[in-house]
Each structure stands twice: as C-alpha cells, then as structure tokens.
Amino acid sequence: MFKAFRQWGPVLDIHPAVLNCMVKAFELLRATGLKGEGTAFQVFEETYDYQAEHDLPHLVPGVVACKESEEQKLLGLMTNLYLAETSLAGA
C-alpha cells in the first residue's frame, strides 16, 4: 500500500492513491451496470470518457519531476500545500 503513496519530505501524499482507487471503483460500477448520482459523479464520468476518447491514461503515477536544483523548492511547496489543506480541514 505504501508504494502507492509519495513521500515529499515530511509530507505523505495520498492523493494519487485515492484518485486511482476512485478510478477502479468507477470502472467496477460501470462494468456491473450501476450508475452513481450527483454532479461529482457526472463530472468524473465525463472526465473518464474524455480521457478514453483521447487515449489518455485514467490512472496517475503521482510522480513529479524537477531539476535537482529545484528539489528543495518543490519540497517547500508540497509542505505548504499540506499545511494549507490541514488548516482548512480543521476550520
């Protein structure tokens, strides 16, 4: 499971794993003929179909590439993003 997560300094990014799990759940729903409700499901379905029509991948690797000289800047940005999300979740 932890191979699906990405470590950015002190931050453990679970977003790629969550998105990929959503894709697999959506594909299972579709294969069984079930359909979700609501705007969020509709947007996800439209995005999935757009990706399929344009031969784009549904799953994300979660890898971010940068120059070695930019690594600390990237770690700082990821840390700030995590702190902002944590702050919003507690509000």
Give the count of domains, the chain: 1
pLDDT tens sequence across 37-52:
999 999 999 999 999 9
For residue 75, give its domain range.
2-90
| pLDDT per position as a tens digit, 15-33 | 788 888 999 999 999 999 9
**44-91 pLDDT per residue, tens:** 999 999 999 999 999 987 776 778 788 888 778 777 777 776 676 665
Q: How far apart are CA 41 and CA 39, in angstroms?
A: 5
pLDDT of residue 80: 78
**What global pTM score does this model have?**
0.65
Distance between CA atoms of 48 and 43, rounded to whole angstroms? 9
C-alpha–C-alpha distance, residues 46 and 31, integer Å: 16
pLDDT value at position 63? 72
CA distances 68 to 2, 35, 61, 74, 80, Å, are 24, 45, 20, 10, 19
